[in-house]
Structure 1
Amino acid sequence: MITHGTTHRSLRGLRATLRRLAHQWRLPAELRARLTLSVSTVAAEELDAGRIVTLHVAPEPTPDGRPPQLAVRLRTPLAPPGVPAPRDLPLPAERLPGAVTLWRVPTQSCAPMAESSLGQLGLLQGEVRAGSAVERADALAAEQDRLTRELNETNSGVLALYVQLEERDEQLRRAHGRTLRELEDALRPPPVRIEGLEMAVHYAPADTHAPTGGDLYDWFRLPDGSVHITVVDALGHGVTSTRSALNVTHAVRTLALEGHPLDSIVARTDEILLPFDGELMSTVLLVRIDPGTGRLSVANGSHPPPLLVRADGTTTLVEVRGRGIGYPLAGSEAVRHEQLGPGDLLVLYTDGLTESRRDPIEGEARLAAAASRLRDLPIAEFPGAIAAELHTRILHSDDTLALAVRRTMPTPGGTP
Structure 2
Amino acid sequence: MTRSPVDRLRRRLREACAAAGVAADERAKLVLAVTLLAEPASKTGRPPELSISAGDGRLAATLRLPDPVGQRQRNALPLLPDAGDSATLTWYLPAVHDTAPVPVDDELATREEMLALIARADTVTQEQRELKHELAETNSGVLAMFVELEERDEQLRQAHAVIFRELEDALRPPPPHVDAFELAVHYAPSEPDSPTGGDLYDWFVLPDGKVHITLVDAVGHGVTSTRHALTVTHAIRTLALEGHALHDLIARAATALATIEPGLMATVLLARLDPATGDITIANGSHPRPVLVTSAGDTELLVPSLVGRGVGFPDPGNGSLVRRTLGPGDLILLYTDGLTESRKNHQEGEARLLATAPRHAGEPTATIPSALAAEMHDVVLHADDTVVIAIRRRP
Q: Shorter-chain TM-score: what band? A: 0.5 to 0.7
Of 382, 387, 390, the residue aligned with 2:373 is 387
Task: Please tell me the residue identity of whatever aligns with 1:376.
Answer: G
Q: Partner of 1:298 in structure 2?
A: 282
Q: Partner of 2:51 in structure 1?
A: none
Q: Distance in 2 between matches of 1:287 and 1:366?
A: 23
For structure 1, list consecutive stretches of 5 or more residues without a partner in the other structure: 1-164, 410-416
How far off is 1:219 after superposition? 0.6
Q: Distance in 2 between matches of 1:348 and 1:213?
A: 17
Q: Partner of 1:311 in structure 2?
A: 295
**SS in structure 1 at match of 2:338:** helix
Alignment map for 1:157-306 (pairs within 5 Å):
177=161, 179-306=163-290
Q: Distance in 2 between matches of 1:313 and 1:175?
A: 49
**SS in structure 2 at match of 1:327:** coil
Q: Distance in 2 between matches of 1:349 and 1:209?
A: 22
> Following TM superposition, where does structure 1 have runs of at least 4 consecutive aligned residues deviating by more than 3 angstroms?
171-179
Q: Partner of 1:407 in structure 2?
A: 393
Q: Distance in 1 between matches of 2:390 and 2:169?
A: 18
Q: Partner of 1:351 in structure 2?
A: 337
**For the Cα contact (< 8 Å) 1:218–1:229, is it kept in 2?**
yes
Q: Partner of 2:320 in structure 1?
A: 334
How far off is 1:181 after superposition? 3.6
Q: What's the TM-score, normalizing by structure 2?
A: 0.59
C-alpha root-mean-square deviation of aligned residues, in Å?
Answer: 2.1
- 1:363 equivalent to 2:349? Answer yes
**For the Cα contact (< 8 Å) 1:173–1:209, is it kept in 2?**
no
**Count of matched residue positions in the alignment of Structure 1 and Structure 2:** 244
Q: Partner of 1:138 in structure 2?
A: none
Task: Please tell me the residue identity of whatever aligns with 1:338.
Answer: R
- 1:398 equivalent to 2:384? Answer yes
Q: Distance in 2 between matches of 1:242 and 1:200?
A: 21
Q: Distance in 2 between matches of 1:402 and 1:174?
A: 29
How far off is 1:177 after superposition? 4.5
Q: Distance in 2 between matches of 1:230 and 1:331?
A: 14
Q: Partner of 1:102 in structure 2?
A: none
How far off is 1:190 after superposition? 0.8
Task: Please tell me the residue identity of whatever aligns with 1:398.
Answer: D
Q: What's the TM-score, normalizing by structure 1?
A: 0.56
How far off is 1:212 after superposition? 1.2
**SS in structure 1 at match of 2:277:** coil
**SS in structure 1 at match of 2:359:** helix
**SS in structure 1 at match of 2:296:** coil
Q: Distance in 2 between matches of 1:368 and 1:385?
A: 14
Aligned-pair identity in percent equals: 58
Choose 1 or 2 for highest CA Rg: 1
Q: Distance in 2 between matches of 1:380 and 1:178?
A: 28
**SS in structure 1 at match of 2:366:** coil
Task: Please tell me the residue identity of whatever aligns with 1:357.
Answer: R
Q: Distance in 1 between matches of 2:208 and 2:352?
A: 36
**SS in structure 2 at match of 1:353:** coil
